[in-house]
Amino acid sequence: MRKRLATACLVLLVSILAGACNLPRPGAAGTNRPLEKNTAAALTVEALGTELAGGTVPAPVSAITTSPQAAPSETPAAPTATASPASPTPAASTPGSTPAPSQTAVPCDQAKFDGETIPDGTVMTPGQSFTKTWTLKNIGSCTWNSSYSIVFISGDALGGPASAPVTTGTVAPGQSVQISLALRAPATEGTFRGNFKLRNPSGAIFGLGPAADQNFWVEIKVTAPATAMIDSYCLADWTSDAGTLPCPGKAGDTAGFILRVDAPKLEDGSIDNEPALWTNPQVGLNGQISGRFPAVVVASGNHFRAVIGCFYGAANCNVKFALKFISDHGSIQTLGEWNEKLDGSMNHLDIDLSSLAGHSVEFILSVTANTASNGQQAFWLHPRIE
């Protein structure tokens, strides 16, 4: 009995103590909050005090949050974008205005080659007089006048002056002028070249090209007049309807051929001591062969001379000879045509070239077959300009 009473007393005591734990604690007037909420508020105030002490000013809040604080996330917050300085906005163009272009200064004295007479390699006879003309364009910023000169720089002066006026008037920037010099071929054979530039009124020398340092020139080939064509026959361009022919050619070539024959036997049976050009046309009716010689400057009083015919024994020879020319890069023109066949007689040509005096002329020797027979064997005996 006593044991039961003791147990009951013990249970009662425990119950009283448990109820006492749930009784409210005395606080500020008007408050009736659970203990854990008061504790959370106290912790919040304590944290704020700590931040103020450390110099950190927290963001203002509209109310104190009394709910438990959420644990901070382990993932770092995205960085706040920093605004880049704004790019300068180009000023608006005024309607109708044009921005000033960037310009490169143009040199005062500068020239450009625009053409010439007497092309490089033109054949001259010894001592032959001729006029060389260059066409130059003023591409500088200064106007040329009579105080500007053409001056000899190097090479062979070809009998020309050391200097001469460029013009008797003016040549404005962008304009062209023709500058001519009276020259003379040397008395000896060979290739000769004279180099020239320009000189301004201050004595400064200038020429062609971007740096105004390049020469312009005249270049000629001097050949003895009596052998000009026979000795330089392989300098000519020989062609037939089959195309370009080799020089010297090969006798019997049906495409046509060209050969030099020394001491030729002519159709009258005589043997000549002067050389001949054997110009055999392409086999077939109207088959032809032609040789276009390098340009020569024709002098006043010059003649073209040659003897034309068929070689001895060439029974099938029946051809038409033609002397043609191209003057100053123009069109092909004909000076004369002559039919020849094996009849024992030959044609002595003496053509006055006075109408071509002073011009750069390419002469063309041509032979055309009047029949389809092979073995035409036409010749030009000692063709020359003298």
Quickly name the fold that domain 227-385 has: Jelly Rolls (2.60.120)
Tell me the C-alpha distance between 301 and 37, whole Å. Answer: 135
Quickly name the fold that domain 111-223 has: Immunoglobulin-like (2.60.40)
pLDDT tens digit sequence for 22-71:
444 444 444 444 434 443 433 443 443 444 344 444 444 333 333 444 44
pLDDT tens digit sequence for 235-269:
899 999 999 999 999 999 999 999 999 999 999 99
Tell me the pairing of strands 216-222 and 122-124: parallel
Closest Cα to residue 229, out of 309, 368, 123? 123
pLDDT given at position 70: 41
Average of per-residue pLDDT values in the chain: 80
pLDDT given at position 224: 66
**Could you tell me the residue ranges of all domains in the chain?**
111-223, 227-385
| Residues 6+ positions from 262 with CB-CB distance below 8 Å | 275
pLDDT tens digit sequence for 188-237:
889 999 999 999 999 999 999 999 999 999 999 987 655 568 888 998 99
